[in-house]
Amino acid sequence: MKVSIIVCVYNERDTILTVLERLAAVDLGAWEREIIVVDNCSTDGTRALLQKVSLPDVSIIYQPRNMGKGTSIRTAIDHVTGDYALIHDADLNTT
């Protein structure tokens, strides 16, 4: 079995690397994972950070302009190869 984790990102320079490291560290047992990051045309340096990411099973899609979270989700769904998918925020907000 495989789970696809969709992470929509917009101006999350301060949190995106921590989010990706934490998602990659979760023990899924026998399950495979893929993490699909969709950057919604960030302007705060997030894109530069994402271009340096070299974590296994992480793919990054760069939107050509800010098209909103809904479009980012639909873009990611076109790339999902897992049996299940979930959406994870990139801001580390627990509320």
Gap between the Cα atoms of 16 and 5, Å rounded: 14
The arrangement of secondary structure in 2-89, i.e. its CATH architecture, is Alpha-Beta Complex (3.90)
Q: Where are the domains of the chain?
A: 2-89
**Strand residue runs (E) in the chain:** 2-9, 32-39, 58-62, 84-89
- Whether the CB-CB separation of 2 and 29 falls below 8 Å is answered with no
Report the pLDDT value the prediction gives residue 92, as an integer from 0 to 100: 83
**pLDDT band at 95, cuts 50/70/90?**
low
pLDDT tens column, 25-79: 999 999 999 999 999 999 999 999 999 999 889 999 999 999 999 999 999 999 9
